[in-house]
Each structure stands twice: as C-alpha cells, then as structure tokens.
C-alpha cells in the first residue's frame, strides 16, 4: 500500500509540494505565535497549526501571489481559531482532565480519613489512664523500643511491656466504643512494628 502524506517530500502533486513549502517557510513563526497565544500549550498549538494549513489547502491559498500575502492570512486564520476555541470553552461547563479529578478526589478522601482517624484516636487515648497514655506515647508515637521507653519514663522494661499490653487492650475497647471495627477475636491488634518494640 502506497501512502503519501500531504506536504511530504514524496508528494506527487504540485499542490502537495506547495503545502510542504508553505509549512517549511511559515510554520516555525506561526507555531511560535500560536504557542504564545495559548500560554505554552503545545498540543492545542499543533491542532491550530494543522487546522490553519488545512484551510490553506481547502482555499487553494498555497503560494504568495500578487493579490494575496499568505503569511498574514495564515496568522489571521490561526488567531481566529484560537479566539473561537476560547469562546467555545467559555460557553460550556469547565472540562475536567481525565485522571486529575480521580487523584484529587483520592487525595481529598485520604486527607479526610487521616483527619477523622486522628480525631478518633485522640479521643480514644483520652479514655486511657495517664500511665497507659504515657507508655503508648513513648513507644508508638515517639517510635521508641521498650528499653528506650523504660529509660525515658524511669520505669523497668517489664513494666513498659505490661503497660503497653493493657494500654492496647483499653485502646481497642475505646476505639470500639467510638465505632471503629474490632478484630473478630476481640484481641488487640498492634500497629505495624509494634511487635519489634515490645519484644525489645
């Protein structure tokens, strides 16, 4: 199958060669002009250039002759295409990018989830005794091992371990009262890395 692209070097007709020459002569300047009008949007710029050349092709306005200067005409056509596209976009509802809305929605949901989780956890922590709250803060929130927590709190390491165990049980009950779903067996589920800290 033989395919000849309009304006290519192998174009058969004189009109096709003229369109190629027209693009080579005026295309770069026209591209810069349209790109500036469209604020750097290369995809829309290419569409406008293509439509301008198509109109040149349809009008058979492919060469400068005495009665018509092609370059100013092309710039005027391109300018009108940009203006028409802008008016059309202003007349219809705002377009939303393909995946943008989904990622923005996901980020918004994540932010809300984090905020709500933070509020629920803070309320559940308030239900603990001060000793349990201190040991949870020292191990989980400040990311310390039980040995480091024991040194910071000034209590034996075994006491830290037992307080962590009972604090987590109490925290689980408090979270259940706040509507957080518990494990099926009712045992406290420790956050990731908790086993390492309590085993130390």
Distance CA 57, CA 134 (A): 79
Pair of tokens at residue 198: 């309590």
pTM for the full model? 0.40
Predicted confidence (pLDDT) per residue in 144-181, tens digit: 888 999 999 999 999 999 998 998 888 888 877 766 64
Q: For residue 42, what pLDDT is reported? A: 92
182: left (phi over 0), alpha (psi -120 to 50) or beta: beta
**pLDDT over threshold 80, residue 134:** yes
The CB density around residue 169, as the number of other CB atoms within 10 Å, is 14
Can you tell me the mean pLDDT for 29-49? 91
Residue 141, pLDDT score: 81
What confidence tens digit (pLDDT) does each residue in 91-132 have?
A: 776 655 555 555 655 666 566 666 667 777 788 888 889 999
pLDDT digits (tens, 9 = 90+) for 48-86: 999 988 887 777 655 555 445 778 888 888 999 998 888
């Amino acid at each position: 199958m033989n395919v000849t692209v309009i304006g290519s070097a192998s174009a058969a007709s004189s009109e096709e060669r003229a369109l190629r020459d027209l693009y080579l002569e005026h295309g770069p300047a026209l591209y810069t002009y349209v790109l500036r009008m469209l604020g750097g949007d290369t995809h829309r710029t290419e569409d406008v250039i293509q439509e301008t050349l198509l109109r040149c092709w349809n009008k058979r306005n492919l060469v400068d002759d005495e009665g018509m200067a092609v370059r100013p005409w092309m710039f005027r056509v391109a300018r009108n295409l940009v203006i028409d596209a802008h008016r059309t976009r202003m007349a219809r509802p705002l377009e939303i990018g393909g995946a943008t809305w989904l990622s923005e929605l996901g980020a918004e949901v994540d932010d809300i989830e984090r905020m709500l989780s933070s509020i629920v956890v803070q309320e559940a922590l308030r239900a603990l005794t001060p000793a349990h709250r201190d040991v949870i803060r020292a191990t989980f929130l400040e990311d310390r091992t039980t040995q480091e927590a024991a040194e910071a709190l000034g209590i034996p390491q075994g006491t830290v371990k037992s307080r962590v165990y009972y604090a987590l049980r109490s925290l689980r009950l408090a979270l259940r009262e706040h509507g957080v779903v518990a494990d099926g067996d009712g045992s406290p589920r420790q956050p990731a890395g908790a086993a390492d800290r309590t085993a130390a």
